[in-house]
Structure 1
Amino acid sequence: MRQPTVSAAEHPIVPGFYSDPTICRVGEDYYLAHSSFEYFPGAPIFHSRDLVSWRQIGNILDRRSQFLRGDGRASGGIYGSTLRHHDGRFHFVTTNVGDAESGQTIVTAEDPAGPWSDPVFVREAVGIDPDLCWDEDGECYLTWKGTVFNGEGDGIFQGRLDLETGRFKSEPYQVWQGLGLAASEAPHLYRVGDRWYLMLAEGGTERGHTVTVARADRPEGPYEACPANPIFSHRSLAHPVQNTGHADLVETAEGEWAAVYLAVRPLGFTPQFHVLGRETFLAGIDWVDGWPVFDEGRHSFTAPDTSFGDEFASPALDPRWVAPSSEPEAIASPHPGGGLELRDPKDDSPGLLCFRVQDHRWSATAAFTGSGRFELRIDDRHRYGLRFENGLVTAYARIGGVTADLGSAPAPGGEAVLAIRAVECVAETLTAYGPDDVVLSLGGADPVELARLDGRYLSTEVATGFTGRVLGVGAVGGASRLTAVDYRADRLPE
């Protein structure tokens, strides 16, 4: 069946928890990277030739020397970043908030699929959301949200950087601070023609999220704010896509311009609930009187089918697989009989091998031999799952400080298929209408439903934080054997 065409204003080009997008182009090739927070490997990177069809080619931060675990807390780790190509190399700069003393982290590569270099740390730049930009003489400018090393001042800072040493060539200085809205952050600096443009996110990454811009004759300013600021926002609009902001611009191979930005798709009764995290959307950009103007309706594309099956036949995991506050190799290794052997990593992490959920309606199964668990989660305090051990499958839930075992069913023969689905909400009252219901079942030829749970409790509005839902598999007891995982998008966008 032919898949429907959707607008990039209403459907993400990269659905699911792929937030804080940053983009660059080399020739006809586009590359897109994202924040990843506590999940390792970090900073997923994608490739496209048309700006709307994206394929993950790896994760930039795939060694712990590049991404120290730090405290491993939920919504910690890798924050907003910038991906650029300069002088024959890709440069990626980011913040690991779990390792704040290192300041900003810079890695480089000739091939965006890797390997990426060992990091250079900019310890004098304390804060988040760093950006790299070069002038015509090759001078590199680091712009970020935060403070200088001695802690004086707070806001948007900039400095001329020695990329080899990570030291500033002169004292950093404050630049344009935005409109004065909450949470002025995510600076991106561009040279367009004879002018320099500094674009910010303001208003916070929630419903008040906006994009603002200013221009100057020099990178350090003084900056003139756009009279139409904020140049992009969905705040106070009745639009199915909300929280729009944190944009990054790119000039296309045809000489036009585009912007990627993050947004969410909330569902349910007020205040509505988003469950997939902050996703990546696309808009066209026009230049009018020397200012960028967003054209949301410019791009449309065929909605991708995000379904997949994995029997783990290859010794290397697909790059979709990540681990919260741990490493995939500490949790999983090829089993001699096929599939994966899962084990407790004994590092105080959740001990899960995960992938991002990318759809509102879906079904997924995980097949185990002996024992295992399959879990839908936002963080360790907000999760629903199934546990298979001693020939019994039990549904469980944790919401905040409350944990409960729910229904159970026997699974004779030492094998079990654990099934989780996100389905349409069945609400007894208007105020109980959430984004979905989550159904936990013992799968197979004759499925047994063990629990049906309110999806609101696995939303960002309840759990808080910056991430979205993931599905994870893990061991029960000393070890478990996972033979297959299957994920199906049950309803594609119309």
Structure 2
Amino acid sequence: MSVGQQETATRERAAGPPRWADGTFRNPVIPGMHPDPSICRVGEEYFLACSSFEYFPGVPIFRSLDLVHWEQIGNALDRPSQLSLPPQMPSSGGVYAPTLRHHDGRFWLIVTNVAPDAGTMLFTATDAAGPWSEPVRLPDVAGIDPDLAWDENGDCWCTTAGIHQVRVDPHTGRMHGPPRRTWSGAPGAQAPEAPHLYRIGDLWYLLIAEGGTERGHAVSIARGPAPDGPFEPCPANPILTHRGTHRPIQNTGHADLVQAPDGSWWMVLLGVRPGGGTPGWHVLGRETYLAPVTWVDRWPVVGDVSPVMPAPPWPPRPVPAPSVRDDFDDAGLHPRWVSVRSRPADCWSKVTRPGWLTLHARGASLDEPDVTFVGRRQQHLSCRVRALVDPAEGVGGLAVRLDERHHYDIEVGDGLVRVVARLGSVRPTVATRPVPPGPVQLRVDVLASPPGSWSPCEEPDVLRLGIQHPDGDFDPLAELDGRYLSTEVAGGFTGRVIGVYVASGTVHVDWFDYEPLDVAGTILAP
């Protein structure tokens, strides 16, 4: 060890372990469209999976050492043989609500693919980062939100929304007996779903969501002596809900439990951050939140779920901050990049023009279900996105997408830059500007409405689409209302994805920047 290394080690020992800033952490712990979180722990490591709907690759997988700082380490379904999402499948179809578990030295992932001739599928891996196996199909397991749990005899129990339960062979997908209805929450409550079954002590607990994934969302629980009950509901149900409140986090539900090495218990769940006036519009989709859990009379009590939370009782274990810029210099794409339904090998390349991402057109625009699009989830209420696009052989650009019928685009081609807004059945060209031949730097600023400026019809944010000139000046061509790219307007289960696309021919993208902004539009650290 050198003298400098010895001095550094001495200072670190004197300072002690790293501390949480202000003794708090910030929720959501995984921002952007990361709904339906399922979590498991292996040793000191935590692993988490989320729904991915119509995007490919599917089921993002995250890893953490402290429950707060998460790094995406892959996507479980990254091959067409694992995940088929045909063009006729509507947006917000596809992959729903995975359950991720670790059992008998392997990771197990069960999902529902809501697409023709798909259904419930089970995958395994020795490493959560992959590769994951080909699917084991469970054709007789109906419904969504499948869960897996093993009892002391080694029997595997699959519980689905409804709430229905059956024993299965996870290696073959065969059922042992017919499914049976079990405890399904409060009488008359809509959408009993998201079941998770746990053995805790000498009791079995069945955790579910109910009330629908909108403002009435809630978490309830019951317990019984065996995996199949009979179940006794918690007298304090729902154990978590934000319905009927003014809290900044809404739609709380679809939860999963995990125990930390120190014996404490925690809950991951989904929630949204509505903005603007009435009824409130959430634009990022449903995000992953974290809350502490204590036990009273052998029932779980969930702590507050708020934007600023007391830190866990252990040192933080941060992960590397994501790079602002993707230069497309690596051979593949980072797992954060997703495409719509599929990403055929012949629609994109990094070798056609080394150091550039080359996109070849399939559909004619983002209105088409099989468009060539490569994007990432919007993860901040305010952000700035830029890309250097060369349209020498086609037309393409930068897009903010919610689905085929709701997206804002700024594209370059044929000597023009155009801003196009797809709003349901209309698709006006909002602005045009002539540009000289060659690459053009396109830019989108997403600016959330500042806190405290509420009025009944205020938009959640505005999007400014324009050109950034070589001298750094921004030339905005259009400012568009963000509410039309929200779930409350468009419907569905997803959130915004921002990326690059090609509408015709071939375009090349040299780099793509994503930078979070504060409410004043100032760039923040990633």
After TM superposition, the score normalised by the length of structure 2 is: 0.87
Counterpart position of 1:343: 360
Determine the C-alpha separation between the residues in 2 that align with 1:16 and 1:309.
Answer: 18
The one-letter code sitting in structure 2 at the alignment partner of 1:435 is P
Deviates further, 345-354 or 467-476: 345-354
Determine the C-alpha separation between the residues in 2 that align with 1:329 and 1:164.
Answer: 31
Determine the C-alpha separation between the residues in 2 that align with 1:303 and 1:238.
Answer: 33
Indicate how the Cα distance of structure 1 residues 430 and 307 shifts in structure 2: closer, same or farther if over 3 A, else same: farther
Counterpart position of 2:15: none
Question: Which secondary structure does the structure 2 equivalent of 1:32 belong to?
Answer: strand
Determine the C-alpha separation between the residues in 2 that align with 1:422 and 1:393.
Answer: 19
Counterpart position of 1:48: 64
Counterpart position of 1:22: 38
> Which of 196, 201, 204 is the matching residue for 2:212?
204
Deviates further, 330-339 or 35-44: 330-339
User: Is 1:401 equivalent to 2:422 in the alignment?
Assistant: no
Q: Report the CA distance between 1:456 and its aligned residue.
A: 0.6
Q: How does 1:44-443 map to 2 (within 5 A)?
A: 44-70=60-86, 71-99=88-116, 101-145=117-161, 155-180=162-187, 181-296=189-304, 297-299=309-311, 308-327=324-343, 329-334=345-350, 335-346=352-363, 348-369=369-390, 370=392, 371-425=395-449, 430-443=455-468
- Percent of paired sites with the same residue: 47
Determine the C-alpha separation between the residues in 2 that align with 1:46 and 1:194.
Answer: 31
The one-letter code sitting in structure 2 at the alignment partner of 1:461 is E
Indicate how the Cα distance of structure 1 residues 450 and 310 shifts in structure 2: closer, same or farther if over 3 A, else same: same
Where does structure 2 lack aligned partners over 5 or more consecutive residues? 1-18, 519-523
Indicate how the Cα distance of structure 1 residues 366 and 93 shifts in structure 2: closer, same or farther if over 3 A, else same: same
The one-letter code sitting in structure 2 at the alignment partner of 1:442 is I
Question: Matched residue pairs, number?
Answer: 481
The one-letter code sitting in structure 1 at the alignment partner of 2:89 is G
Q: Report the CA distance between 1:221 and its aligned residue.
A: 0.8
8 Å Cα contact 1:274/1:435 also seen in 2: yes
Q: Report the CA distance between 1:11 and its aligned residue.
A: 2.1
8 Å Cα contact 1:283/1:298 also seen in 2: no
Indicate how the Cα distance of structure 1 residues 245 and 424 shifts in structure 2: closer, same or farther if over 3 A, else same: closer
Q: Report the CA distance between 1:7 and its aligned residue.
A: 5.4
Indicate how the Cα distance of structure 1 residues 443 and 487 shifts in structure 2: closer, same or farther if over 3 A, else same: same
8 Å Cα contact 1:234/1:243 also seen in 2: yes
Deviates further, 459-468 or 331-340: 331-340
The one-letter code sitting in structure 2 at the alignment partner of 1:134 is W
Determine the C-alpha separation between the residues in 2 that align with 1:93 and 1:229.
Answer: 27
Deviates further, 110-119 or 306-315: 306-315
Root mean square deviation, CA, Å: 2.2
Determine the C-alpha separation between the residues in 2 that align with 1:428 and 1:210.
Answer: 29
Counterpart position of 1:152: none
8 Å Cα contact 1:283/1:299 also seen in 2: no
Residue deviations 1:367-418 (CA, integer Å, cap 9, x gap): 1112421100101111111110022111110100011111222221311011
Deviates further, 171-180 or 399-408: 171-180
8 Å Cα contact 2:276/2:454 also seen in 1: no
Indicate how the Cα distance of structure 1 residues 294 and 204 shifts in structure 2: closer, same or farther if over 3 A, else same: same
Residue deviations 1:468-494 (CA, integer Å, cap 9, x gap): 00102111321101110001001269x
User: Is 1:471 equivalent to 2:498 in the alignment?
Assistant: yes
User: Is 1:37 equivalent to 2:53 in the alignment?
Assistant: yes
Indicate how the Cα distance of structure 1 residues 189 and 428 shifts in structure 2: closer, same or farther if over 3 A, else same: closer
Deviates further, 290-299 or 239-248: 290-299
Where does structure 1 lack aligned partners over 5 or more consecutive residues? 146-154
Determine the C-alpha separation between the residues in 2 that align with 1:253 and 1:325.
Answer: 39
Determine the C-alpha separation between the residues in 1 that align with 2:22 and 2:92.
Answer: 34
Q: Report the CA distance between 1:138 and its aligned residue.
A: 1.0
Residue deviations 1:308-340 (CA, integer Å, cap 9, x gap): 210100011000111112216353211334211
